[in-house]
Structures are given as structure tokens and as C-alpha cells.
Amino acid sequence: MNEAPISLETRVEFLVPLNKLSAERQARLLRQAEVLTLRKKDRLFDQGDRDDYTFYLLDGEIEMFADGSLIKRVTGGEGASFQPLAQLQPRQMSAVARSRAQVLRISRSLLEQLLGVDQPPPAPAPGSGIDVDEIETTATSDWLLNLLQSELFRRIPQAHLQTLLDTLETVSVPSQTVVVQQGQPGDYFYIVKEGTCEVVRTAARGREIRLAELGPGDTFGEEALVSGTARNASVRMTSDGELARLTQRDFTRLLQAPLLDAVSRAEAASRIAAGARWLDVRFEDEHAHNGLPNSLNIPLSQLRSRSSELPTTTPYVAYCDSGGRSSAAAFLLAGRGYEVCFVSGGAVDDALAEPSAAPTAAPTAAPTAAPTAA
């Protein structure tokens, strides 16, 4: 099976439910799509497969089999080809090319998200000729696509997405403006719509350390809102741009509450017994003093740059001494696709004068640079 360059000058307006999107959002989706070229007898997918794709047959013929029996043939350009191929998960049928064929493959989850937030005017009548090459694209239009593809927004309930987008306030910000200031209390959660900004932290003797550069679709400002602490870094615009923002109240209602899983100490212990790992997000000396036995230790201030050290297949129970830092850690990790909860009210072992077991370091791996929210 070979992948061919994307060329969608016809049929786009026929594909259901892709044709229910506005032309702009069709273009966004199609920029992420691929046109696959199949040879005769190539298998597109098999019965029982699970994947995150929606397939449309553009040209050629596909045979659909279930339990070894031929169920139907689909021909490009005819009625059945305008619907997704065997869309149910797991796949109820296998798809095999009966001839040379071209198939459009798009992200199922992204399509569903765009359908959930898009309220377009009626689709153009068949034959109006949407030409993908003629649709204007700009960096500004990419911010929403980048946002919806982030792990954070993949986990937001579909019902919240449209409300969240309707609630966002857009502000224009000139270059060199300090949007958030290290040491100040948190007030807003920000999304970069247009332009670029940098995340910097002032270290000892006033030395400024540049931590990350952010662009359209990137977010910042959540850590101080979740933990209730001061900003741990500054964010400064490096170009003129536009930011979308949520107040702390709306952030809590629309983002924080759906993502955070707060548990009691007893429930946390049950999850540990079932295979989860303790994750102490306090500083190293705090962990050494009264960290829970066999707990991993990555301070919250380092978690963004070191989260790749944590296997994604392991569930985690984040804790600190109050629940503040661990709630921020849980939000950060949940937004990156981890299965994680935090202990409400904190969890430390004050009975330990010295750790009963040597602290367990997180798995070693080369740290990767990652944006640090303020």
C-alpha cells in the first residue's frame, strides 16, 4: 500500500458527514488527511480492527467481507462511496481492493470534534466544485486545529467544546507585552491564536532563562489556576498576536473540572493495589523526609520537561502535602494523555522519621524540552 499526494479537487461536497462542515473547516481537516493508493488485493483494514480513521473510497472498487463472506462491493463515485467505509469500531467488515483504488483517510476523532463545534451554513449543492487547492489557508486558521488535536482538548467532553469556544475572549497583544508575570497570582488561562510568545523564568541574580516558545494552538497559564499558587514563569509576546483567554471561573468549570480526578487516601490506596504508582510532586528534600514508600518523585516544577520519563501505560496517583501541587500535576499529565488522579487534601507519611525504603527515582530518560506554563 502506497500513499499518494493529497489531491481532492472533486467529490468533497458529496462525502457525508464531511460535507456538513464549513468550507474553512473542511480545508483544515483535509490538510491533515491522506489519499492512499491501493493495488488490487491490498487490504485497507480487517474485521475486528480498531483505529482512529474514517475512510472514503474516491476511485476504484473495494470489496467488503464479514466472516469470510462477501457482503458488498463499493465503487468510487457511486452512492455507497459517499459514506464512510465500515465505520463502526471494532470494524465489522474487512476491506480489500478489487482493483486499483484511491481512498481518503482522515482522523475520525478530529472530524467528530469539528462536527461538534461547527455550526456552518447549508453545504453547497453538489457540483459547486470545492477545490482544496483554492481554499485560502493562514496560520490564524490553524490554531483551532492544533488545539483540538492536543491531548488536553481530546479529553474534554464533546458537550463542553462549543461552550468553551463560545466563552473564549480574544485580545490583541503587541510584541514584547508581558502577558503573565512570574510571582503574580493567576487570573486567566490563555490560548495562542496568532503570533508567538516565549516562556521565561527569572533565576538567581535576575538571570532570565528561556524555557519555551509557543505558537498558534499552544496554551499557558493553567498551573497557577489549578494549584492556586503564583505564576512560576513569565510569558512575553515575541510578535504582535492574538490570544484567547478564559477567566479562572470559566477555566475551572469548562476545563479543570472535567479533567481532574480527585480521590480520597483510601481510594488512592486501592488504585495503588490495583497497579497504579504513587507520584510525589514535591521537592526532593520533602520527598526524602516523608515520601510514601516506593513512590516516584518528580517535582511539579520539573514535570513538564520530565513527563516523558513516565511510561504512558502506567496509571499514576499524584500526591503532595495539601492537594494543591498534585492537582496541578494531575491536570498537566491528564492533558498529555496519562491516566492519573490526585489525592484530595494530600498524602504523606508523617510517621516516617526516615524513609522506610530508598526513594524510587523516576525511570531515567533524556529529558525533552517542553513548554512550561506560567
Q: How far out from the chain centre does Cα 217 lie? A: 10
Nearest C-alpha neighbor of 226 from the set 369, 322, 149:
322
Q: What is the pLDDT of residues 187-227, one digit of tens each?
A: 999 999 999 999 998 877 778 888 889 999 889 998 888 87
Distance of alpha carbon 114 from alpha carbon 25, whole angstroms: 7
Q: Are 326 and 261 in contact (CB under 8 A)?
A: no
Nearest C-alpha neighbor of 296 from the set 373, 244, 217, 361:
361
CB atoms within 10 A of CB 50: 8
Q: Are 103 and 56 in contact (CB under 8 A)?
A: yes
* Range from 16-30, 235-249, 295-309, 337-351 that averages highest in pLDDT: 235-249
Paired with 3 in beta bridges are 36
pLDDT value at residue 1? 52
pLDDT value at residue 191? 93
pLDDT value at residue 321? 84
The enclosing H or E element of 308 equals none
The pairing of strands 34-38 and 101-107 is antiparallel
Q: What is the pLDDT of residues 318-334, one digit of tens each?
A: 998 878 888 888 888 98
Distance of alpha carbon 323 from alpha carbon 327, whole angstroms: 6
Q: Is 199 left (phi over 0), alpha (psi -120 to 50) or beta?
A: beta
Looking at 191-323, list the stretches that DSSP marks H as alpha helix, in order from N- to C-terminal side.
222-227, 248-251, 257-259, 265-273, 284-290, 300-306
Is residue 122 pLDDT above 70, yes or no? no
The pairing of strands 101-107 and 53-59 is antiparallel
C-alpha cell at 49: 480492527
Q: Write the CB contacts of 322 (distance below 8 Å, at least 6 apart in sequence).
A: 345, 346
CB atoms within 10 A of CB 68: 7
Average pLDDT rounded to a whole number, residues 90-118: 85
